[in-house]
Amino acid sequence: ALERFSADMWSFGTLHCDYLTDDTIPYEERLGATGYDAVLVFRNIQRYTGDPSWRRCVDAAFEVYGNRYVLPNNGAIPAYFNFTAGFLDEFLSTSSLRARELLLLIARNGAFSADA
C-alpha cells in the first residue's frame, strides 16, 4: 500500500503541479485547483520525498492562491476558500514574511475571521 501511495503521490502531484504552472490554462481554473490547501499539499510532498524540486510546486500554489487571490482581495475571502495551514507551515519553517502577511490578512479580513 505504501508503494502505491508513493507512486500516486508522485504522479498526481506532478499532474497538479504542471497544471498550476501552465500559463495557457485560464487563471480561474488554476485557482480552483488550489482548493484544499495546495500550498500545504506540495509542502508535505516535498517533506515526504526529500526532493527539493517540489519547491516549484509550492511556489506555484503560493503564487496562484496567495499572491494572485488572497493578496489582491486583502484577505477578504469566503470561508469555504480559506486555506491557511500551508501559509502557517511556510512561515514556521522558513520565516517567510509573505506567508505571515497572507495569514494576517485572512485572519483580519476573511469571512468569519474578523471581529463583527
Residue in this structure with the C-alpha cell 506555484, named with its chain if needed:
60
Give the integer Cα–Cα distance in Å for 20 and 39. Answer: 11
- pLDDT tens, residue by residue, 33-75: 999 999 999 999 999 999 999 999 999 999 999 999 999 999 9
What are the angstrom distances between the C-alpha of 33 and each of 3, 18, 38?
A: 25, 11, 8
Q: What is the pTM of this model?
A: 0.91
The SS3 of residue 89 is helix
